[in-house]
Amino acid sequence: MHGGGGGRGGGGGRGRLAFGDVKSQRELNASAPKVEHLLRRIGELFVPYRLALSITIALVLVSAALSVAPPLLTRQLFDVGLFPKHGQPNVPVLVTLVSIMVGLWILSAGLGVWQTYLTATVGNSVMGALRIRLFTHLQRMELAFFTKTKTGVIQSRLQNDVGGVAGVLNNTISSVIGNTVTVIAALVSMIILSWQMTIVAVILLPVLVVAQRRVGQVRARIATKTQESLSDMSAITQEALSVSGILLAKSFNQQPAEIARYEAENQNQIALQVRQQMSGQWFFAMVGIFLSVIPAVIYLVAAWLITHNVAVTAGTIVAFTTVQARVTFPLMGLLRVALDLQTSQALFARIFEYLDLHPAIVDRANARPVNAAEVGTVAFDNVVFRYPDAGQETPPTLKSVSFAIEPGQYAAFVGPSGAGKTTVSYLIPRFHDVEAGRVVFAGDDVRELQQDSLVRNIGIVSQETYLFHATIAENLRYSKPDATDDELVAAARAANIHDTIVSFPLGYDTVVGERGYRLSGGEKQRVAIARVLLKDPPVLILDEATSALDTISERIVQSALDEAARGRTTIAIAHRLSTVIGADVIFVVQGGEIVETGTHSSLLAAGGEYSRLFAEQAGTLSAH
């Protein structure tokens, strides 16, 4: 598609085979950041929320400390309150100890609610900021990135991948800090109660840590495959359930094929999800059994200690097993968080992989605004260009193209399909950068200009008009958000669409549907023209704006285009030569080169390529 140079965006479109394929996904995953790098970058995401994190950490520490107190009070409750060395149970001491324990539990519960609120707020804020950061970064990417990547794959990064780390972001802080402090405090308490029994209780923990790491590595690999599958499902959904996709499927009666395609990927997703959830289940089952068996082993160890004249009271045994039981859930929580962090590395890697992409087209440090005194002049100076994803062995789309257009001129680019006409329209607003030569706008190389200023001075009406699923008024105001109703009407009148709009029951509040499918082709084009007129740019680019319309619609739209072109530098990319007969200058493009230049009459008289094309189209029209 690049060889001929035409092509919408050098290989863009809705094709299923070319973009976002499995190979590219493997390449993306292969280039993902390493674990250490990821952990540092994940930590940086929390920096703006230092205050909330500090409060959360303080609450976690207090909660952890409070959680250790009741088991220690339990020993006093048994040894002093229930079973004192002399006499009956000490009721006043019991009441005091129980009251303290109940108060600690109530306080812990309240602190837990506050902690959960802060954790949820920070986690979701980080996730939201990450999503906005990714969306903003993608907005800065050059056009070539989007022509070689499926929309569904990009959507999956924003939704599935960022959403997938939400749980980790929400739970990591409280789980890691709280559970770590709880485990440490509990171990300290256990050592105080009996260092001998503590050794027995923790002797196998290193084995659990090693096993957990191996399980985590397996889950991380499965998570990568799962996200790739989700990306494919998003791409299929975006393609098949868009208006264009539905029309295509219905036109060829391919709904069963689309269902089968989605069902196959869905089955793959189910299998991967089951594998991910089942991975580690035996590990946690063994951990649960191990932690459950420890109290029984402790009783045996306590009996052995007592028989060897080591002082161990009943209260000590009860308190120790109580503390050890309280270690179970925090320890399991730590192991699960560690697994989640390992699993989430695949998601973070995919997110950071996009964030680490550098836009190919950015403003230079000394970029300047468009020179208002010379706005309207456009020129190419020996421009050579090939699309970014085309190999160097592919012939350039444009080969040493040079031309100059004066302010107020109506210039047309004509030629056979694939000659490179549309590419010219992409290079003027700097949607791509040239390989060699210069694109000059208002006297300056476009690479020296601020992109915002450059695009603000250019209006584009393309063949593939894009309207949002919104009202006509909202679509018009996309080019000028602060436009008044009178300005909307004036632009619509100039585009010859006002009468049509007011004929709708809701007028300018009519919702046009996805991509404007509730409007006819001619109506959509005239709304697009009105949108550009509202912007009021000094340079207008018309990219085959009437080639997809019927004769009557073309005549109406062409009239609107003629009105839009009045008083502006206009660059028309035309397939139908009848639409550019009145152009001030016509450039004939063939094979990526300008082969002829002149007016309609002079080019006809020359008897060259333009004359041949015109005769060919005239013959086709007369045949019809």
The answer on pLDDT for 411 being more than 90 is: yes
Is residue 4's pLDDT more than 60? no
**Residue 345 counted as domain residue:** yes
Instruction: Render pLDDT for 45-103 as a digit per residue (tens, 0 to 9).
Output: 888 888 888 888 788 778 777 766 766 677 667 766 676 666 676 677 777 877 887 88
Closest CA to 274 of 226, 229, 227, 333: 226
277 part of a folded domain: yes
Is residue 500 predicted with pLDDT exceeding 50?
A: yes
Q: Which stretch of 143-152, 210-219, 387-396 has the lowest confidence by average pLDDT? A: 210-219
Domain assignment present for 612: no
Q: Computed from CA positions of residues 280, 283, 285, 287, in that sequence, does the dihedral angle turn out positive or negative?
A: negative
Q: Which of the four pLDDT bands, split at 50, 70 and 90, describes residue 453?
A: very high
Q: Average of pLDDT values for 604-624?
A: 77
Is residue 469 in some structural domain?
no
Query: Given this model, what pLDDT does residue 2 score?
Result: 38
CATH number at residue 240: 1.20.1560.10
State the DSSP code for 471: B
Confidence band of 403 (pLDDT split at 50, 70, 90): very high
Q: Which residues contact 585 (CB under 8 A, 6 or more apart)?
A: 405, 409, 410, 411, 412, 597, 598, 599
Range of the domain at 218: 42-355
Q: 86 in a domain, yes or no?
A: yes
Is the pLDDT higher at 245 or at 427?
427
Overall number of domains in the chain:
1
Return d(Cα 199, Cα 565) in angstroms, integer: 87
Q: How confident is the model at residue 24 (pLDDT cuts 50, 70, 90)?
A: very low
H/E segment holding residue 383: strand 378-385
* Angle (CA) 252 256 258, round 5°: 80
Q: Would residue 421 count as lying in a domain?
A: no
* Exposure on the CB side of residue 286, measured as CA atoms within 13 A: 13
Mean pLDDT of the chain: 77
Instruction: Say if residue 577's pLDDT is above 80.
Output: yes
142: amino acid identity, one letter:
E
In this prediction, residues 346-357 reach a mean pLDDT of: 79
Of residues 54 and 316, the one with the higher pLDDT is 54
- 477 falls within a domain: no
pLDDT digits (tens, 9 = 90+) for 246-268: 666 766 677 888 888 878 888 88
The residue-averaged pLDDT of 563-586 equals 85
> Alpha-carbon distance 551 to 216, whole Å?
64
Kindly state the average pLDDT of the residues 435-451: 93
Q: Is residue 269 part of a domain?
A: yes
Measure the CA–CA gap between 583 and 412, rounded to whole angstroms.
6
For the record, the structure tokens of 350 come out as 């995919």
% residues pLDDT > 70 (the chain) = 75
Give pLDDT tens digits for 171-220. 666 667 667 777 777 777 777 777 777 777 776 666 666 665 666 566 66
With 0-12 / 13-18 / 19 or more C-beta atoms within 10 angstroms meaning exposed / middle / buried, residue 95 is exposed
- Selection from 138, 563, 575 nearest residue 359 by Cα: 138
Q: Is the pLDDT of residue 307 over 60?
A: yes
The pLDDT, as a whole number, for residue 211 is 66
Closest CA to 547 of 589, 524, 576, 577: 576
- Within 13 Å, how many C-alpha atoms sit on residue 540's CB side? 29
Higher-confidence residue of 81 and 138: namely 138
Give residue for tokens 């105001």.
477
* DSSP annotation of 511: B
pLDDT value of position 594: 93
Q: Report DSSP state, residue 358.
A: P
pTM of whole model > 0.85?
Answer: no
Q: Which of 5-19, 293-307, 356-370 has the highest mean pLDDT?
A: 356-370
Read off the pLDDT band of 547 (50, 70, 90). low
The pLDDT-based confidence of 551 (bands split at 50, 70, 90) is low
**pLDDT tier at 484, thresholds 50, 70, 90:** very high
Q: What is the pLDDT of residue 21?
A: 36
| Residue 243 scores a pLDDT above 90 | no
